[in-house]
Amino acid sequence: MVGRQKKLKIRFVPGNVEVVQEDVDIPDTRVLITGATGLLGRAVYKEFNENNWNAVGCGYSRARPRFEQVNLLDTTAIHDLIEDFQPHLIVHCAAERRPDVVESHPEAAFQLNVVVSERIAKEAARVEAFLIYISTDYVFDGTNPPYLETGIPNPLNLYGKLKLEGEKAVLQNYEGAAVLRVPILYGDVEKLEESAVTILFDKVQFSNKPANMDHWQQRFPTHVKDVASVCRQLAERRLQDPSLKGIFHWSSNEQMTKYEIACAMADAFNLPSNHLRPLADGLVVGVLRPKNAQLDCSRLENLGIGQHTPFRTGIKESLWPFLIDKKWRQTVFH
């Protein structure tokens, strides 16, 4: 279902620039994405926008001009945005996702990860919009994987505890909401530091000095476009079946440590890896993290929902713009 709206468009002609009004098709099914400027949020926006949804994203410091600039800590701003747009779906990606930052700024993290999530759940319930709250595998302690949705959470760090509190706040205030737990993510980053996966690439490329890499914690690096696709599939299924709600898991099925991730990057670009040194002793540096919080994804899989991008394929697509040595570009891509 689509409607017709007027849209301003800039038209370039030789020696002149014109602003013209054109009729455009606007899909009737509306989705609001919070945190749309972030790595996952951008992928979610793109997925819905390219699949016949009327997608509106909101962000804050990086919002303009593409997205709505909204301070999610402002209760009135959240209310007004949802009231004006009347979404059928809200995908709540906005969060403080960096465990070390959460530990150093606990009150700010609590406000964003818990208080804002509760407010959005109440607003979603008010307008009867399906809500997907993005959560994390860090709600588990990693001692007894794989974890079903019914598994007992036991987060080891404040980030996991606050995301779990966010889950409870969402489900307590909106019975019809969904929680989607995901693991470590990567994808089309704007800078390497945007993902705990891609940030390893500098250590891979600078092979002139040894680099110690964790070889203890088991990770399941998952492409954000896969998570975005799962969100869309889940939302479209929910439109057909209103009883679909509760907790869901999605994750890659490729298990690797950060050392193995780095080696896979090197292999993908034909780069040397003998400078990478595995550390398998499990010594904790910084915030406590679970050893293996593998998520069981069978609930979604049994619904026929899912998408898997092979890590080698996904990481090559994500990292090639950051290759330092141009000759490797020619070797790998030509």
CATH number at residue 247: 3.40.50.720
Task: Indicate the SS3 state at residue 70.
Answer: coil
pLDDT of residue 24: 60
What's the rounded Cα separation, in Å, for the pair 229 and 306?
7
Within a domain: residue 44? yes
Q: Which token pair is 89? A: 């779906």
Is the Cβ–Cβ distance between 187 and 233 less than 8 Å? no
Within a domain: residue 6? no
Residues 6+ apart with CB under 8 A from 106: 158
Within a domain: residue 18? no
What's the rounded Cα separation, in Å, for the pair 70 and 131?
18
Within a domain: residue 102? yes
Within a domain: residue 2? no
pLDDT of residue 185: 98
Within a domain: residue 130? yes
Is the Cβ–Cβ distance between 121 and 143 less than 8 Å? no
Parent domain of 61: 28-322
pLDDT of residue 316: 96
Within a domain: residue 9? no
Counts for the chain of helices (H) and strands (E), in that order: 12, 13
Inter-CA distances, 238 with 131, 177, 230, Å? 10, 10, 12
What's the rounded Cα separation, in Å, for the pair 36 and 140?
26
Within a domain: residue 334? no
What's the rounded Cα separation, in Å, for the pair 334 and 320?
13
Q: Splitting the chain (334 residues) into consecutive groups of 10 residues, what average pLDDT does each group show?
A: 50 66 74 96 97 94 81 95 96 94 95 97 97 98 97 97 98 98 97 96 92 95 98 97 96 97 96 94 76 97 97 96 70 51
Is the Cβ–Cβ distance between 312 and 244 less than 8 Å? no
Kindly report the backbone phi and psi dihedral angles of residue 191, in degrees, each rounded to the nearest multiple of 5, phi listed first: -150, 155
Q: Which token pair is 189? A: 């980053």
What's the rounded Cα separation, in Å, for the pair 220 and 261?
10
Is the Cβ–Cβ distance between 16 and 25 less than 8 Å? no
Angle between helices 116-127 and 158-173 (to 10 degrees): 20
Please give the helix or strand (H or E) that residue 95 lies within, else none.
none
pLDDT of residue 4: 40
**DSSP letters for 165-212:** HHHHHHHHH-TT-EEEEE-SEESS-SSGGGSTTGGGHHHHH-TTS-EE
Amino acid identity, position 179: V
pLDDT of residue 280: 86
What's the rounded Cα separation, in Å, for the pair 91 and 228?
10
Q: How far apart are the first and last CA of the chain?
A: 42
pLDDT of residue 12: 64
Considering the entire predicted model, what is its pTM?
0.90
Q: Which token pair is 26? A: 């606007």
Q: Hey, how many other C-beta atoms are within 10 angstroms of the C-beta on 126?
A: 12
What's the rounded Cα separation, in Å, for the pair 67 and 174?
26
Tally of domains in the chain? 1
